Amino acid sequence: MKRLLEKYSAKMVSAGLAETGYPLLGGLDAELEWNREDPAIPVLERVFSGLSINSLLFSFPAEPYRSIIDFLASGDVNFIQPEDSETRTFMHDLPVIRDFRSDMIIEKLRKRKSVIVKGKGIITWGTVSPEQAFIFYSSVCFACFVKFFSDYLRDSRKGEVSVEQERVFRIAQKNLEQYTDKPPLLMSGPYRNREDVYRAVAEAGRLTVEHRLVDSFFGNVSLRWGDTLFISQTTSSLDELEGCIDPCPMNGSACTSITASSEFSAHMGILRHTGMNAILHGHPKFSVIMSMDCRRENCASRGSCHIRCPEERFVRDVPIVPGEVGTGPFGLCNTLPSAMEGSRGVIVWGHGLFTVSLDDFNGAFRNLLSIERMCREEYFRFLD
Ligand SMILES: [Zn+2]
Ligand SMILES: [Zn+2]
């Protein structure tokens, strides 16, 4: 258990979600263990006994998340309500409390996956492994980031940015991740054997996480090789795909494996439509932010343009499409494949970005990076 706790503490630091020395993780095996000593432990041990969980995570987030979350949680806010799809389908809303008290923490964590303690940090839990707590924590950071930048864009357009909001925006802007000028070279295809395919898929997933184009739990990767689609499993960590890639025959309408990514049918559709073989899907932040921003003042769906906007929208050349869960007319598997034809990528409203390439992941990875960079440029261009 101790090794697992240390693993996820290190992952939080390398993902830029917390500073070294801050993550506090507890895990219950035969007995309760912590990754380090901390004065918060007695309170958290009471939380453990009040919930049926096996792990807890408590940490102060690193910048820019720290300032952003402090800002969103300021005043008499009782919860934060982000509108991106990760939050809507996964977290619902993000409760906020004032005091670091076990009874209040337990009350919130009974109903939600996280609680934000004002000025102190984020608490999340897991029932199976500390990995869940890590996933929930990174989702809170992602959602708050997207909400803050979305709100700022909306408010600045209306000329309604507050002094405090402006101050936090400056801090956040200073702490944005630096994009690499040189995308890494991935294994080049076409691949000679299945082992190479597995290695290439795992490598593409790992680099997508390392370049912070997705939180490790979300996103997916696939590659068609021969008559088989090799696709990441639905609950896998994208940076640890070894052993979590499902081979699915291309000639079925569905994958026989129940573990294959929930976006399996969208991947199949894209391959059939475009003739490409490699697909990458991440949740890069500014692609998500730009996709939720409808500039049409009198849009018929004003207020819900992040889910269902009747406007045909693009970020420069890249289309934005609806992509609801399921197989309805606005479901991913119906909107995405045709939009991908002739595009270097497609952004799904409030959700993320899909890119494709022919024989290996190099083109898809370059496009993922360059579209996200373009979305960030467009964001700051709109502000000017
Ligand atoms: Zn996704
Ligand atoms: Zn709209």
Q: What would the DSSP string read from start to end of 306-352?
A: TT---S-EEETTEEEE--BSSSSTTBHHHHHHHHHTT-S-EEETTTE
152 and 275 co-located in one domain: no
**294: domain CATH number?**
3.40.225.10
Tokens of 111: 């109903």
Tokens of 127: 């029932």
Which pTM was predicted? 0.95
Tokens of 296: 């049409």
123 and 229 co-located in one domain: no
378 and 235 co-located in one domain: yes
Tell me the CA–centroid distance for residue 184 and ligand 2, in Å: 36
The helix/strand count (H/E) of the chain reads as: 12, 15
User: Per the domain annotation, does 372 fall within a domain?
Assistant: yes
Task: Count up the domains in the chain and report the number.
Answer: 2
Domain ends where: 120, 139, 174?
174
User: Per the domain annotation, does 181 fall within a domain?
Assistant: no
User: Per the domain annotation, does 180 fall within a domain?
Assistant: no
Tell me the CA–centroid distance for residue 213 and ligand 1, in Å: 11
pLDDT, residue 295, reads 82
What DSSP state is assigned to residue 30?
S
pLDDT, residue 254, reads 63
Task: Give average pLDDT by consecutive 10-residue segment, the chain, 384 residues.
Answer: 96 96 96 97 97 97 97 95 86 95 98 96 96 95 96 94 98 88 91 97 96 87 95 91 92 68 86 95 96 84 76 93 80 90 93 96 96 96 91
Ligand nearest to the CA of 294: 2
pLDDT, residue 297, reads 77
Which residues make up the environment of ion ligand 2, defined by Cβ < 5 Å?
294, 299, 301, 305, 309, 311
Tell me the CA–centroid distance for residue 199 and ligand 2, in Å: 41
Q: 245-280 in b/e burial notation, b at 16+ Cβ within 10 A?
A: bbbbeeeeeebeeeebbebbbbbbbbbebbebbbbb
pLDDT, residue 242, reads 95
Tell me the CA–centroid distance for residue 320 and ligand 2, in Å: 11
226: helix, strand or coil: coil
142 and 228 co-located in one domain: no
Tell me the CA–centroid distance for residue 188 and ligand 2, in Å: 40
Tell me the CA–centroid distance for residue 348 and ligand 1, in Å: 9
Tell me the CA–centroid distance for residue 308 and ligand 2, in Å: 7
How far apart, in whole angstroms, are the C-alpha atoms of residue 230 and residue 214?
20
State pLDDT tens for residues 129-175: 999 999 999 999 999 999 999 999 999 999 999 999 999 999 999 99
Tokens of 224: 């068609």
Domain with 329, as residue range(s), is 194-383
Helix axes of 2-14 and 130-157: crossing angle, nearest 10 degrees: 20
Single-letter amino acid code for the residue at 55: S
pLDDT, residue 253, reads 61
Q: Which of 194, 188, 191, 238 is nearest to 217 (CA)?
A: 238
129 and 257 co-located in one domain: no
Tell me the CA–centroid distance for residue 156 and ligand 1, in Å: 29
Cis amide bond preceding 319, omega within 30: no
